[in-house]
Amino acid sequence: MSHAAIWDSICRLRATAPLVHNITNYVVMNNTANALLAIGAAPAMIHAAEEVEDFVAISGALVVNLGTLSPAWVAGMRLAALRANAAGVPWVLDPVGMGATRYRSQVAADLMALKPGAVRGNASEIMALAGANATTRGVDSTASSDDGLHAARALAAVTGGVVAMTGKTDYVTDGTKVRAVHNGDALMARVTGMGCTATALTGAFMAIEADALLAATHALVVLGVAGEMAAEKAAGPGSFQMHLLDALHALDEAALQKRARVE
Amino acid sequence: MSHAAIWDSICRLRATAPLVHNITNYVVMNNTANALLAIGAAPAMIHAAEEVEDFVAISGALVVNLGTLSPAWVAGMRLAALRANAAGVPWVLDPVGMGATRYRSQVAADLMALKPGAVRGNASEIMALAGANATTRGVDSTASSDDGLHAARALAAVTGGVVAMTGKTDYVTDGTKVRAVHNGDALMARVTGMGCTATALTGAFMAIEADALLAATHALVVLGVAGEMAAEKAAGPGSFQMHLLDALHALDEAALQKRARVE
Amino acid sequence: MSHAAIWDSICRLRATAPLVHNITNYVVMNNTANALLAIGAAPAMIHAAEEVEDFVAISGALVVNLGTLSPAWVAGMRLAALRANAAGVPWVLDPVGMGATRYRSQVAADLMALKPGAVRGNASEIMALAGANATTRGVDSTASSDDGLHAARALAAVTGGVVAMTGKTDYVTDGTKVRAVHNGDALMARVTGMGCTATALTGAFMAIEADALLAATHALVVLGVAGEMAAEKAAGPGSFQMHLLDALHALDEAALQKRARVE
């Protein structure tokens, strides 16, 4: 994949500032909103069943993240996903902690049945979703992303959408084609919500790019490249977060050309 | 308006550290609490119908922000506003995303009927509240604040309180008098929750200044001046947020004298 | 207490990365998660009654924080605490704002009856829990921690666990023994959620140290030392937060040896 295609996506994102509707967890809402603003999208966080249908209908994409679940939120997620499907609004699912509790696994399975255009998770979550033998330990992955590639392809074949599995190497697959992204930095695992940010950026790129395989790949390259830029300036996980937002905001074609590593 | 009056308000705020009761959205709670602490107030976030009445009665001001609505929270907002009115505690309403969904518009109208001492919104939100022809696009404004001044004056006449409409220029009006604040920086639009912070600071100044026109104007100057100070040091939206809190904490008379621009 | 014992705890924490289950408030969730990651633990935020029992059973410790209460969350806290007791998972209670409203006081009393292994609060909160004569003003303490030591000892005797009371000097007591920690910096009071971070770190150390008096003391020294390191680099409360996470991540034996002050 040429860096020029990624840069073209970023330019379209910044030019159109698509509205991205997030139903996401309490822990990362602020970071997610700021990451979306920094790359050029217009984020909104709206979760109540009373209004998600109205809102998703005016949005460019929907992000559904299972981090801090409760029944009222699940009702909102379900209504929003159904309406997104009806209205042709692309949506991405982040099955945070899939496999950690029975409730969480059931909610994830119910939402998977609504066939999200993309799923973004770590290897444990993807393997648990695919019914493979994996252990989710809270929100962390105990399987490597290499281990999960088989599960990711199987899962994509089931939903008909793409699956993005992040780890040391990130993989994006539609069940047939596979893209591998080699960007990122180890500090990203020491900050909460980097996976959630990857999911939100995937949503943003889906709003301006109909090919979900491309959209998810662009999002992961963008986050990985910004992560590398931030890590070079950071003294630890606190300063890393700050530099990451600055890097997403400053990201230009030269940085992509120098750093993007996609197969 | 002389900078001395603003400085006097800040000194009273820091000397008395008024308790500011916030019922606000999940996205900005942390930022709002830190901005209130940085300027010298004592923030608390308490939303449940079971306790908001007890809590607002011991508070210096109440901030009601509609960002991440749900019915249980709306019940708390309503009880808190009623009790604030009964107890003589000033309160400010932030109609985030007013006009974006029918539910949101209904909730905002219901709370407006309780006559907040101040309303703080962007031009789209203020125009939607006033029944003018505007489009709210998520939480962003698609109308300029100049366009909305007529709506702001009309709205203030209806509630009997003040309306603060923020944008490139901020306006504060009681329906008759109008103050224009020319402080701030373009980076403030690339960070989530700056409007919410303006609302929270308005609440803090209302706790120590009975004249709501003055209180809201002081709050907007303070945020705008701190925003300018932060922007001079920031490399992007991530570092801007950090410097903004430092600037609110460090704000002194000299900075106000040099930068405050109010008509 | 020698710094070597504290350093040994940190090494065990980093080597085992215990899963810490947090049911905490919206304001501090992000900071708490990042502080736990920075010191080496694996945080998860899960609150719904539908899944807390499953989750606490696979966790190394449970943190229950009353900051932004509502009935549905209280139900989750209660179920999680009961299951933690049944499964032998240590848990810590943070009675945020105890005494400020009748609802809050009732919830705190109900959870105290479940006998948390540790309670972490400020002097006002501890005195209110102990039934002593104190005033809680929102989430701030109006009593000094020296005033509350008598209440802390009495409270520890009632629960059979330890009580950690933070302030200018921090005290940890099991009702008989008392440890005094003299670390920390005044800037910590100008940032929201430092007390909540102290509680979360206490939970993390309880996961790897069965003696709760030691665990709580180690947590308070670690936070105080990191706070001192951060304050030396900070220009205000915004940059303090960033440096604090970097300092928790970088904390080494030399820093402990130089700074730890425990009696």
First to last CA, chain A: 7
Locate the domains of chain B by residue range: 3-259
- In this complex, the residue of B25, B30, B104 whose CB is nearest that of residue A51 is B104
Q: How confident is the model at residue B76 (pLDDT cuts 50, 70, 90)?
A: very high
Q: Does A242 touch chain B (CB under 8 A)?
A: yes
Q: Per-residue pLDDT tens for B197-225?
A: 999 999 999 999 999 999 999 999 999 99
Residues B151 and B131: their CA atoms lie apart, in Å, by 8
What residues of B are in contact with residue A54 (Cβ under 8 Å)?
100-103
Examine the pLDDT at C222 and tell me if it is beyond 90.
yes
pLDDT in the model for residue B9: 97
Contact C100 B30 (CB under 8 A): no
Closest-approach residue (CA) in chain A for B141: A42
Q: What percent of chain A has pLDDT over 90?
A: 91
pLDDT in the model for residue C2: 80
Q: How confident is the model at residue A2 (pLDDT cuts 50, 70, 90)?
A: confident
Q: What is the ipTM of this complex?
A: 0.94
Domain covering A3-259, topology: UDP-N-acetylmuramoyl-L-alanine:D-glutamate ligase (3.40.1190)
Q: Per-residue pLDDT tens for A189-230?
A: 999 999 999 999 999 999 999 999 999 999 999 999 999 999
Instruction: Count B/C contacts: CB-CB distance under 8 Å.
Output: 103
Contact B28 A30 (CB under 8 A): yes
Of C153, C156, C97, C158, whose CA–CA distance to C128 is shortest? C97
Q: Does C43 touch chain A (CB under 8 A)?
A: yes
Q: Does A160 touch chain C (CB under 8 A)?
A: no
Contact B54 C102 (CB under 8 A): yes
What average pLDDT does the segment A139-143 reach? 56
- Helices C3-16 and C194-206: crossing angle in degrees, nearest 10, is 80
Q: Which of C30, C89, C233 to mutate to probe the A interface, most A CBs <10 Å?
A: C30
Closest-approach residue (CA) in chain C for A70: C48
Cβ pair A202, A164 in contact under 8 A: yes
Q: Which residue is associated with the tokens 């255009």?
A: A117
CA distance C153 to chain A (A): 34
Q: Which residue is associated with the tokens 């109308």?
A: B143
pLDDT in the model for residue A131: 86
Strand partners, A192: none
Residues B235 and A242: their CA atoms lie apart, in Å, by 10
What average pLDDT does the segment C40-48 reach? 98
Q: How confident is the model at residue B131 (pLDDT cuts 50, 70, 90)?
A: confident
Cβ pair C64, C93 in contact under 8 A: yes
Spell out the residues 6+ positions from residue A75 whose beta carbon is closer than 8 angstroms to its own.
Answer: A49
Q: How confident is the model at residue A71 (pLDDT cuts 50, 70, 90)?
A: very high
What average pLDDT does the segment B30-54 reach? 98
Query: How are strands ordered across the β-sheet holding A162-166?
Result: A42-45, A19-23, A61-65, A91-94, A118-122, A162-166, A170-173, A178-181
Instruction: Count A/B contacts: CB-CB distance under 8 Å.
Output: 103
- In this complex, the residue of B70, B100, B137 whose CB is nearest that of residue A48 is B70
Burial of A63 (0-12, 13-18, 19+ CB in 10 A): buried
Examine the pLDDT at A136 and tell me if it is beyond 60.
no
Q: Cα B108 from chain centroid? A: 15
- Please, what is the average pLDDT of chain C? 94
pLDDT in the model for residue A129: 94
Q: Does B257 touch chain A (CB under 8 A)?
A: no
Examine the pLDDT at C263 and tell me if it is beyond 70.
yes
Contact A30 B71 (CB under 8 A): no
Examine the pLDDT at B42 and tell me if it is beyond 70.
yes
What residues of B are in contact with residue A244 (Cβ under 8 Å)?
238
Residues A201 and A247: their CA atoms lie apart, in Å, by 14
What average pLDDT does the segment B125-136 reach? 76
3-state secondary structure of A133: coil
Examine the pLDDT at C145 and tell me if it is beyond 70.
no
Of C162, C231, C235, whose CA–CA distance to C199 is shortest? C162
pLDDT in the model for residue C142: 55
3-state secondary structure string, C82-115? Answer: HHHHHHCCCEEEECCCCCCCHHHHHHHHHHHCCC
What average pLDDT does the segment B61-67 reach? 98
- In this complex, the residue of A25, A137, A191 whose CB is nearest that of residue C34 is A191
What residues of A are in contact with residue C54 (Cβ under 8 Å)?
100-103
What average pLDDT does the segment B25-54 reach? 98
Helices (H), B60-144: 71-87, 102-112, 123-129
DSSP code for A148: T
**CB contact residues (below 8 A), chain A span 61-120, against chain C:** 67-71, 97, 100-104
Instruction: Count A/C contacts: CB-CB distance under 8 Å.
Output: 103
Residue B31, token pair as written in the block = 């930022």
Q: Does A27 touch chain C (CB under 8 A)?
A: yes
Q: Per-residue pLDDT tens for A187-196?
A: 999 999 999 9
Strand partners, B236: none
CATH class of this structure's domain C3-258: alpha beta
Of B257, B171, B181, whose CA–CA distance to B223 is shortest? B181
Q: Per-residue pLDDT tens for A104-120?
A: 999 999 999 999 999 99
